[in-house]
Structure 1
Amino acid sequence: MLRYVYLAGWLFSSSLLLAQPAPKTSAPKAPAKTTKGPVNLTAPIPFDPTVKVGKLSNGLTYFIRKNTEPKNRAELRLVIRAGSVLENADQQGLAHFMEHMAFNGTKNFPKNELVNFLQSSGVRFGADLNAYTSFDETVYQLPVPTDSVQLFERSFQILEDWAHNALLDSVEIEKERGVILEEARLGRGAPQRMRDKYFPLILNNSRYASRLPIGKDNIISSFRPSLLRDFYRDWYRPDLMAVIAVGDFDEKQVEAMIREKFGRIPKAAPNAKPRPEYGIEPHKDTKVVVVTDPEQPNTIVQVIYKRPEIKERTIADLRDGLQRSLFNAMLGNRIQELTQKANPPFVFGFSNYGGFLGNLDAFSSVTVPKDAASVEVAIRAVLDENDRARRFGFTPTELARAKQELRTGVEQAYRERDKTRSSSLVGQYVQYYLEGSPATGIDFYYQFVSKYLDGIQLSEVNKLAGTFIGNENRAVVIMAPEKDKDKLPSVEQVIRVIDNAGKDLTAYVDQTVNKPLLATSPTAKPVVGEKQVAPIGVTEWTLGNGARVVLKPTDFKNDQILFSGVSYGGTSLYNQTDYMTARFASTLIGQGGTGPFNQIQLGKYLAGKSLSVNPYISEINEGISGSTTPKDLETSLQLLYSYFTQPRKDADVVQGFLSNQKSLLQNQITTPTPQKVFQDTISVTLGQNNPRRQPLAPADLDQINLNRAEQIYRERFANAADFTFFFVGNIDPARLKPLVEKYIGGLPGNATTAKENFRDLGIRIPAGKLGKTVYKGLEPRATVQLVFSGDLSWSPETTTQIDALAEVLEIKLTEKLREEEGGVYTPGVSGSYSKLPAQRYTFRIGFGCAPENVEKLIGKTLDVINEVKQKGAAPKDIDKFKAESRRETEIQLKDNNFWLGYLTNQYFNQDDPTEILREDEQLNRVTVESTRAAANQYLSGQNLIRFVLLPERKQ
C-alpha cells in the first residue's frame, strides 16, 4: 500500500492536494525523562514514562508499552526510516515493491505462508495485516492476539523476517510485477496527471518531486531483481529500524523476544551508505501553476506559504504548539462561517498551519470555487479572512471558546487514559521515532495544558498570521476542468489577487445569542413500563408519551455515551412530487440551526461541550443520532428535544446552500469522471430506472420548497410514540431516567394512535442476466462489478452463511486473480442483506484491471464461483473465516459503537436482541457443504448483472 503523505482526501475525492502534515525523517534524540508535572519552559519535552525504550548493540531501537485495551491484543510495528526518496534513478518504485515482497516469502514463511498463517489466526489481510510506503519511511503493521503464546511469539518472528529475512525470490518478484502495475493503474486519472504537472513546481524540483512512491511503470516491469536486493541490503538495516509493541502483554517477555530475535540482525557494515536527509530549497518568487484536465469535474485552488519546519523539542515549543492550535481553530471557524451565510463566496474553504514535506512546514489556504469564473472571488474571500486575522486579530470571546474546545478534548483524552486503545497509541511512537515529534503521554500533557493554556495571551496568537503569511517561498496551485481553461485567471492575475488581498476590511464581529436553548422546560412524562433483557444487560423503558427507550450501560469508555432514535416512515411516505423536498428536508432544516440559534450561533453556544446531535430522514425511516459525555448529557438531550420541537428555517442560508450544490452538480454533469458515470449506471440499472434512483441533477434542486420541507420535517418528528431511542455507554440509569422522562417523555406523543409504517416502493434489482458496458475515461483502465441478487429467507443462519460465502470467495479470488494471475490489486467481495422493506440479498464482486484482461479475469472469477458451487469452500478457508469472525466479535462486544448499531438494527428489524450470544452456534453451522449450498443458492447466475467500465473508444 502506498501512502502519499501530501494527499488530502478531498471534498469530492477529485484532486490531490498538499494539505496534510507530512512525516519528517530526522532521527530523535534519546527520550528525556519525564517529571511528575510541567517544568520550566527551557526544559526538554519529556517522553511517555509508560513506554520502555531500548537500543540494541546493532542500532535497532525498540518501544514497548503495556496497554490493556483491548484485552488480549497487541499492535506491533516495524518502522524502517527508508522510503522512495532513497531510491536510485533505476530503482524508482522499488521501496514500495520491497514492501510487497515482504509478504511474498521470508525465511520462516515461504511464499504466501505468512498471510495464510495470520488469517488462520484471525488476522485479516488488508484490514488488519498491512503496510505502507511513503517518501521517507516504510511501516509494517501487525495487530495480533496475545492470548496464544505460540501465535504471539510467531508474530515477532514475522517482524524479524521482514527486517532481514526476506527471500526476494526471482520467481516471486516476477509474479508481483503485475500486482504493483495494477495498483499503479488504480491511481491513474485526472488527479495523477495534474499532480505530475504541478509537483515539480511547488516542490521546487527537489528530490521529492521525482521520487513518488509508486515509481515508474517501465522500471517496475523490467528492473533486475538484483536492484531490489540492493535496496533491501542498503536500507533495511538495524540502525534505521524501530520495533514498536503496544498491547496487553508481559513487557519483560516482549523485551526478551525483541532482544533475542532482533539482536540476531548483523550490525550495519562500517562502509554502509549514510542515510541522506533531503529538503526543499526556498525560492523568492511566487510559483503559480494552473493545470486543467478533461476529467477534472471542479476547480480547486490552494495557496501555500512554505516556511522552515518547526521542531518541538522544549516545553516552550510545546506551548507555542498550543498557540498554533488555537490559531488554526479560530481561523477555521471564521472561514467555515462564510459557507453558512446567504451568499457563500465558495463551496468549501479552509486555512491551516501544519507540516508539509521534507524540511518545511506550510500555511495553506484551500478553496473550492463555485465554478471557474468565480476563482478570483473565492481566492480573495479566503485570503481576506487570513488578512483580517493578521490586521485585526481575534476577539477575546473567540479565544475563550477555542481554549475551552482544546481543554475539553484534552480532558476527555485524560479521562479515557485507561480505556484508550493500543491502535490509538502506537502511532505516537512511530512518529517519535521517525521525526522526533512529542510523545509525552496524556498524564503529562493534561498537566501541561492545565498549567499553560490559560496563560496564553490573545496578543501572542494574533502575531501568528503575520509570521505565517509572506510573499516569499509562496506557491499557488489551480486545478480545473479542461473546458474552463479560458475562464481561469492568468498567472499574473493570480499573483495580483494574492498581493491585493485584504483591501477595505473591517474587524470581525463575534455575534452570539445570550438565550437558553429551550425557553420553557418540557413537561415530563414518566416511565410507565420497564423490561429487562438480562442476557445482554439491556433495559427497556416505555414512557408516558409512548416512546420506547432501550439502554445498555457499559464500562468500555469512561467518557462516552452514544444514542440514536429511529422510527418507520421516511421519504417512502411521500409521492414523487414531494420526493426531492422530503429527501433534503432534514438537511435544509439543519442549515437553519434550531430554536433561537442559527447554525453559526448554535456552534458558538455549544463550544467547549463534547456532543453532537443530528436528525435525518432516510427512505424508510427517520431518526436522530448523537454522542455525548456524562457531563454534557443533559445539553445533548435538550438539543435532541429542540430538533424535534423547534425546527428552524433560514431561507437565505438555504438559498446559498442550494446555489452551491447546483454549481457542483453542474460541474459533475459537464465534466463527469469515469467512475461517476460508471456508478450512476450501476445505480440506475439496479434501481430499474426508478426516478428515486436517478443521479441528482441541478434541476432536481429547483423542485425543493423550503416551507414544504419544514412541514415534512415536522410530520416525521411529530409523534414520539413512533420512536425507539437507544443509549449505550457510561450510563447511570438513575441519573438518566429523569432526564429521559423530561426531554424524551416531554416530546409530543400519542401512544393510542396507530404507529406509522414505511411504504414498500417495490424497487428491486432486476431479475435475469444483464450486461452494461460503459466507455468512459482516457486511461487504459477497466473496472468490473458483478452483481448477484435475489429474494432471501431472513434468519441469523442465512446471514451468517452469506458472510461466510463472501469471505471465502474473497480469499480464493485474491489467490487466483492477484497471486496467480497478477491481474488485479485487490479484488473485493461483499455480501449484503436486508429484511426491510423486503427480504433480499446482494453479492458484489469487483476489481480493477487492464482492459485487455477483462474477459479473462471475469472468466477466472466465474471459475472460482463454479468450483465452490461444485465442491464447497476449502476447510482451511472456512477456518479462516471462523477465526476472523470470532476475533472480530471479541473486540466488538467491548465497543459502544457496535452495540448502538446492533441494538438499533435488531429492534428496527424486530429481531431478537440476544441473537449475538448465539454467534458461535451459527459459525459452527458453516461447513464445506453449507458453503456449497449457499453458493448454489445465492450465486446461481440466474440473476447476474455484469458491469464493465472501459476507456473511451478512439475514433
Structure 2
Amino acid sequence: MGKSFAVIALALLSGALIVATPASAAPAAPAGATRTAPWNSETTELEADSRIIYGRLPNGLRYAIRRNERPENQVLVRLAFEFGSAAEADDEQGLAHFIEHMAFNGSTNVPEGEMVRMLERLGLSFGADTNASTGFVRTQYKLDLPKADPALIERALFLMRETASEISFNSGAVDRERGVVIAEMRDRENFNFQRNRAASELLYPDSYFSTRYPIGKLDVLQNASAEKMKSLYRKWYVPDRARLVIVGPIDPAAIEREIVRKFSNWQGSGATLGEIDRCSFDNDRPAKAAIFSHPEVYEALNIEQIVADKKRPDTFERALLDLKMGMAAAIVADRISRKSRNEDIPLLNSGLSFAAGFCDQHARVGMTIAGKDGSWKTVLPIVEQMVRQAVEFGFSEQEISEQIKRYDAAFDNAVKSEPTTVSSSFANELTNLDDDIVTSAEYRLRLWKQLRPFMTKDAVSREFAQWYGRLDRPRIFLSSKNSDPATPETLLAAFSESRKQPVEAPTQRASLEWGYTDFGPRGDVVEDKSIADLGIRTVRFSNNVRLNIKRTDFEKDRVRWTLQIEGGKLSLPTADQPLGMFMDGAFASGGLGKYDIDDLRAVLAGTTASPAFASAPTYFGGAGAIVSKDLERQMQLLAAYVTDPGYREEAVKLFRRPLPEFYARLDATPGSALTIGQARIMNGDDPRFVLPPIDALLAADFERLRAAIGTQLQSGAIEVGLVGDVDEAAAIDTIARTVGALPQRSSKEVDFGSAKTTSFTGSYGIHTLYHRGEANQLSWRRVWSTTDDSDFRLEQTMSLLADIARIRLIDELREGLGATYGAGAGSDMSDVYPERGMFTISTSGDPKDLEKIEAAVDEVVAELLAAPVNADLFERARKPTLESYADWKKRNATWMDIVDEAQSAPDRLQRFRISEEQYRSITPQQVWEAAKRFLDPKKSYTFRVVPKVAVQN
C-alpha cells in the first residue's frame, strides 16, 4: 500500500522526506542465525536505530542486541513471550501468571528451589535484579547481571533457556507455589483494584481489559492442576512467540553465538496460533454511566468515548498526530491548573485521556477528574466546559510557542544525553515494543525539526477539536466514598446539562521574560582546594557560600545539583514542627515575587530548571538534575527563592484542599495504618516523627512559616553540590553571580541542642492496629531499636544482617509456607539523631495465617541468634552488594551522597573511601554478634494490622 496523502503532503511541504536508511555494517550473523530488519520496520517510513542488531533463529526466536556502556558493567537480559491473560480460556484465568511463578520453581536442569539461590550466588538480588511480570498480551522475564562476565552471561542465557521450555511443573512445587500466587492476589485485590475492574467493565465491556485480568480467578488458581498448566505452557511458550533482548557492554558477536548455542535446539509445537484477540467495540454505543462505591476510595470520574479510527503504525502521520494532541493536552492541563489555583474549587486533579489506534480500529477520547468527597457535581462541569472551551476557541500563539520551547529542549537534550542513557531504557523499550519502531534520539530530533513547522495554533486547535468535539455519548464512571445521591441517570444528566452551557473564549496570557538575573556584586573566591584522591573540588566564596564540584562523564550533558541552607525542621520550635510539612507542600508552589507558580513554569519553558525547594531535618533547600547549559538558570531560580519567595495565598489553599480526604483514609489500607500507628506507638506524640493532627496543618500558613524560619533563608550557611558533566570554571562563575553574590552568610554552625535528642517509648510487645481495607489482608512488622550510624562498620554489618534475614524470611514465609507474596528486612541507622536506629522485619498475609507467620519469623530470628549463618547463606546475602561496587563509583547519584556536604561533613569522605574494603571484611561472626546485641526478643515492638471488619464480626 502506498503512503497516505497526508504523509506525501507533509513531505512535500517540508521540502525533504526523511527515508529509512540501511543499518550500519555489522559482522555477519553466526551460522544458525539470520539477520533481520528492525522489528516493525515493514510498517513505517521511519528510520530505525542502526546500533541495534536484530536476528532470528530457524525455529522462529527473534532477538535484539544493543551494546551500551551505561552502567559500565551491567548487562540486562530479557525474554518476552507474546502470551498473557488475553489468551486464557474461562477455566484458565490466572494461569499465565501462575506459569510465570513456576519458572523460578524448578526445571529440567535446575532443582526446585535452586534457581533463586543460583542467582543470588551470581550476585543477583531476588526481586530487584531477578523478576518477571504477566500482562494482558505479554509475559516477560528479566535478569539484571551485575557485570559483563562471559561466564555470568552464559548462566543467564542457560536459565532463560530453561524458562523457555524446561519448566518442570512438579505437582508438589505447583501446590507450594499456589499459596504464593493466591497471596499476591490477596495483596493486590484491594478497593483500588476493584475500582479499576469496575471501570473496565463499563468502559471496555466484553474485552480482555474487563474479562481477563492477569491476576486471574481464585477458583482457577485454587484448583488448576500441574498438567493443565504444563499444557498451556507447551502451547504458548514457543520460539516464534518469543523475543530475547540483551543490552549492555557486551560483544554482540559473542552474544549471538551464545544465543545460537543455547536456543537453536528449542522446538515449538509447530502450530500456527494466530494473533491474540485485540478487542473490538461498538463505535455507536449509547452513553452509559456506572458508580463504584467504597468507603475508602477517592472521588474520581472517568469520562470516555470510543470513536472510529484505524490501525496506526509508527509513521510520520502518527508522529504528527501524537505531537499535536500532546501539546493540546498540556495546554488544557495548564489552563485547568491556573483555574484551580486562582479559584476556590474542590478540584484535586484532572487530565485528558486520548489514544489513537486503540485496538487497531478505535480511538479513546476522554478525561479523568478527581475532586473532594461529594464534589463531582461541581468539578464535572468545570473540566467539561474547559475542554469544550478548547474545542470551540482553540489555542493561542503564546500557548503553542511555550509548548514548542519545551519540545525543542526535550528533543535536543535527548540527543546530548543519549550516549550515557542507561541500558534499562533500551532494554525496556525493546521488550515492551508493540507496533512501534525503535529510533535514535538524533533521528527523533531531525524528525521533530521537520514536523515543527506544522505545529501551528490552527493545526493543533483543529486536531484537538476533531477528536474532543465528538465527546457527546461518553461512558461516565464515578468512584465515590458514598454514591448517594448519585445515580447513573444523574451522572448522565449532569454531563448533558454541562454541555448545554455556553463557554467563553479563554483569557489571553502575555509572554513573560525571566526577571531574576542580578543578585548583587559578583562574589569573590577566598578558598579553592581539591580533594585529590576523590577528584572533588571545594570552593568557598567571600560570603561564606561553599561549593563542591565533582566532574564526571557518567551522564552526558547532565548535572545533578543540591543546595542546602543550614537550619531545617530541627531549627523550628517544637510546636511549629508541622510547618515543615507545610513548607514541603506549599513553599515552592507559592512561586516568586514576580511570578505565580504557573507563570514561573511558563517562563522556564525550554529549560530543565525546576522550582524545587523544601525542608529536611537539618537544612532548607532542594535537589535535582538539569542539562549542563541550564545550570545558571537553576542557580538563579534557587537564589530567587532565597531572596524573593512568593508566599502566595493560593498555594496555602492548594495545600489544605486534599487534607480532609487524606486524613480520612489513614487507616484505609494495612500499609498506611501500619505506618501511622507504628510511628505513634514508638514515638509517642513527638512531632518530629508522627503525623500531626489535621488541625495543625490546616492552621499552617505563610505568616507562621516566615515567623518560624526567621532569617535563616537570608543568613544561613549555604552549601552547593554539583556532580556530572560540568565545566568547573563556568560553574564557579555561575555560583559567584548567583548565590555567591548574596549577602554574607553565617559562619557559625547551628547548634540544634536538645532538638536532636530522641528516645523510643519502650512500649515493647504486641500492638494490634486496625485497617478498613479488605477482610483478608494483614500487615505485620517487628521492630527493634538499634543505634545511630556513627560506627560505619556496624552500620554495614546491620545492613548485611538485614539481607540475610530477608533471604531466610523469603525461604520460610514465601517458599516454605506459601503464606505471603513477599517479606522484607531493613536496617535504618540515623545520621541525624544520636543513638537512634531501627531494625525491621515486615511481611503481609491473610489474618488467618497470623500464627504461622509469627512462628516462622520467630524461628528465623532464633536461628540468627543461635549461631553464625553458614557460608552459603552469608555469600548469597552479601554477593549482590559486593557486585554492585563494580559500578558504584561510576554513578553520579553515588558521588552526590558525599559531594553535597563535602565541606560541612568531611567525615563522610573517609567512609566513602573504605566502604568496599570494609564491607568485604565483615565476617559471619560479626554479623552474629550484631544480631545478639540488638535483636533481643524481649525488647521488640510487634505490630499486627488486622481488618476492622474481622473484629466487628
Q: 1:137-148 alignment to 2 at 5 Å?
A: 137-148=138-149
1:745 correspondence with 2:740: yes
* Amino acid corresponding to residue 107 of structure 1 in structure 2: T
Mapped to 1, the partners of 2:499 and 2:320 lie a distance apart of 31
Compared CA separation, residues 343 and 387, structure 1 to 2 (3 A): same
Matched length: 912
Mapped to 1, the partners of 2:653 and 2:952 lie a distance apart of 41
Corresponding residue number in structure 1 for 2:439:
440
- SS of the residue corresponding to residue 562 of structure 1 reads strand
Residue 174 of structure 1 and its aligned partner are, at CA, apart by: 0.9
Residue 471 of structure 1 and its aligned partner are, at CA, apart by: 4.3
Q: 1:57-206 alignment to 2 at 5 Å?
A: 57-206=58-207
* Amino acid corresponding to residue 727 of structure 1 in structure 2: L
Corresponding residue number in structure 2 for 1:458:
457
Corresponding residue number in structure 2 for 1:417:
418
Compared CA separation, residues 750 and 84, structure 1 to 2 (3 A): closer
Residue 131 of structure 1 and its aligned partner are, at CA, apart by: 0.8
2:608 to 607, 610, 630: 610
Compared CA separation, residues 761 and 267, structure 1 to 2 (3 A): closer
1:888 to 884, 890, 913: 884
Mapped to 1, the partners of 2:677 and 2:837 lie a distance apart of 20
Compared CA separation, residues 800 and 753, structure 1 to 2 (3 A): closer
1:599 to 597, 600, 617: 597
Mapped to 1, the partners of 2:845 and 2:79 lie a distance apart of 31
Corresponding residue number in structure 2 for 1:277:
277
Contact 1:801–1:931 (8 Å) recurs in 2: yes
Corresponding residue number in structure 1 for 2:368:
366
Corresponding residue number in structure 2 for 1:449:
448
1:664 to 653, 661, 669: 661
Contact 1:800–1:923 (8 Å) recurs in 2: yes
Compared CA separation, residues 336 and 705, structure 1 to 2 (3 A): closer
Higher mean displacement: 511-520 or 445-454: 511-520
Residue 358 of structure 1 and its aligned partner are, at CA, apart by: 4.2
Which ranges in structure 2 are unaligned for 5 or more consecutive residues? 1-18, 25-41
Q: 1:637-656 alignment to 2 at 5 Å?
A: 637-651=635-649, 653-656=650-653
Corresponding residue number in structure 1 for 2:848:
852
1:817 correspondence with 2:781: no
Corresponding residue number in structure 1 for 2:28:
none
Compared CA separation, residues 289 and 43, structure 1 to 2 (3 A): closer
Compared CA separation, residues 86 and 793, structure 1 to 2 (3 A): closer
Residue 318 of structure 1 and its aligned partner are, at CA, apart by: 2.3
Contact 2:131–2:143 (8 Å) recurs in 1: yes
Deviation by residue 1:340-392 (Cα, 9 ceiling, x = unmatched): 224244011111323797445423311111221x2021111121221111111
Mapped to 1, the partners of 2:368 and 2:77 lie a distance apart of 36
Higher mean displacement: 513-522 or 157-166: 513-522
Compared CA separation, residues 768 and 43, structure 1 to 2 (3 A): closer
Corresponding residue number in structure 1 for 2:771:
776
1:833 correspondence with 2:834: no
* Amino acid corresponding to residue 934 of structure 1 in structure 2: A
Compared CA separation, residues 576 and 348, structure 1 to 2 (3 A): same
Mapped to 2, the partners of 1:915 and 1:694 lie a distance apart of 31
Compared CA separation, residues 67 and 335, structure 1 to 2 (3 A): same
Which ranges in structure 1 are unaligned for 5 or more consecutive residues? 1-30
Mapped to 2, the partners of 1:80 and 1:355 lie a distance apart of 25
Corresponding residue number in structure 2 for 1:948:
944
Corresponding residue number in structure 2 for 1:24:
none
Mapped to 2, the partners of 1:798 and 1:248 lie a distance apart of 35
Deviation by residue 1:57-86 (Cα, 9 ceiling, x = unmatched): 222111111112222322111110000111
Deviation by residue 1:779-799 (Cα, 9 ceiling, x = unmatched): 222110111113346222111
Contact 1:124–1:884 (8 Å) recurs in 2: yes
Corresponding residue number in structure 2 for 1:304:
304
Contact 1:665–1:696 (8 Å) recurs in 2: no
Contact 1:586–1:713 (8 Å) recurs in 2: no
- SS of the residue corresponding to residue 937 of structure 2 reads coil
Compared CA separation, residues 86 and 32, structure 1 to 2 (3 A): farther
Compared CA separation, residues 868 and 585, structure 1 to 2 (3 A): closer
Deviation by residue 1:641-697 (Cα, 9 ceiling, x = unmatched): 10111111222x13531441344246437x844543332211211222324544344
Residue 560 of structure 1 and its aligned partner are, at CA, apart by: 0.8
- SS of the residue corresponding to residue 760 of structure 1 reads helix
* Amino acid corresponding to residue 619 of structure 1 in structure 2: P
Mapped to 2, the partners of 1:914 and 1:466 lie a distance apart of 61
Deviation by residue 1:877-925 (Cα, 9 ceiling, x = unmatched): 2222332112223233222122213433676655231422322221222
Q: 1:346-385 alignment to 2 at 5 Å?
A: 346-354=347-355, 358-359=359-360, 360-372=362-374, 374-385=375-386
Corresponding residue number in structure 1 for 2:394:
393
Contact 2:587–2:614 (8 Å) recurs in 1: no
1:527 to 525, 550, 553: 525
Corresponding residue number in structure 1 for 2:39:
none
Contact 1:32–1:45 (8 Å) recurs in 2: yes
Mapped to 1, the partners of 2:331 and 2:22 lie a distance apart of 32
1:719 to 715, 718, 743: 715
Contact 2:86–2:277 (8 Å) recurs in 1: no
Mapped to 1, the partners of 2:418 and 2:656 lie a distance apart of 45
- SS of the residue corresponding to residue 339 of structure 1 reads helix
Mapped to 2, the partners of 1:264 and 1:920 lie a distance apart of 42
1:707 correspondence with 2:667: no
Mapped to 2, the partners of 1:748 and 1:273 lie a distance apart of 73
Mapped to 2, the partners of 1:929 and 1:35 lie a distance apart of 57
1:923 correspondence with 2:922: no
- SS of the residue corresponding to residue 847 of structure 1 reads strand
Compared CA separation, residues 657 and 106, structure 1 to 2 (3 A): same
Corresponding residue number in structure 1 for 2:559:
561
Contact 1:512–1:604 (8 Å) recurs in 2: no
* Amino acid corresponding to residue 262 of structure 1 in structure 2: F
Compared CA separation, residues 612 and 471, structure 1 to 2 (3 A): closer
Mapped to 2, the partners of 1:908 and 1:813 lie a distance apart of 40
Compared CA separation, residues 458 and 438, structure 1 to 2 (3 A): farther
Compared CA separation, residues 709 and 782, structure 1 to 2 (3 A): same
Compared CA separation, residues 89 and 906, structure 1 to 2 (3 A): farther
- SS of the residue corresponding to residue 312 of structure 1 reads coil
Mapped to 1, the partners of 2:620 and 2:313 lie a distance apart of 48
Compared CA separation, residues 860 and 258, structure 1 to 2 (3 A): same
Mapped to 1, the partners of 2:463 and 2:784 lie a distance apart of 57
Contact 2:898–2:908 (8 Å) recurs in 1: no
Deviation by residue 1:136-167 (Cα, 9 ceiling, x = unmatched): 11011112145322111111111111111111
Contact 1:284–1:472 (8 Å) recurs in 2: no
State TM-score, norm by structure 2: 0.91
Mapped to 1, the partners of 2:435 and 2:664 lie a distance apart of 44
1:678 correspondence with 2:674: yes
Higher mean displacement: 231-240 or 834-843: 834-843
Mapped to 2, the partners of 1:748 and 1:627 lie a distance apart of 26
Contact 1:345–1:381 (8 Å) recurs in 2: no
Contact 1:336–1:350 (8 Å) recurs in 2: no
- SS of the residue corresponding to residue 648 of structure 1 reads coil
Mapped to 2, the partners of 1:575 and 1:912 lie a distance apart of 29
Mapped to 2, the partners of 1:295 and 1:463 lie a distance apart of 41
Contact 1:868–1:932 (8 Å) recurs in 2: yes
* Amino acid corresponding to residue 280 of structure 1 in structure 2: S
Corresponding residue number in structure 2 for 1:735:
730
1:873 correspondence with 2:865: no
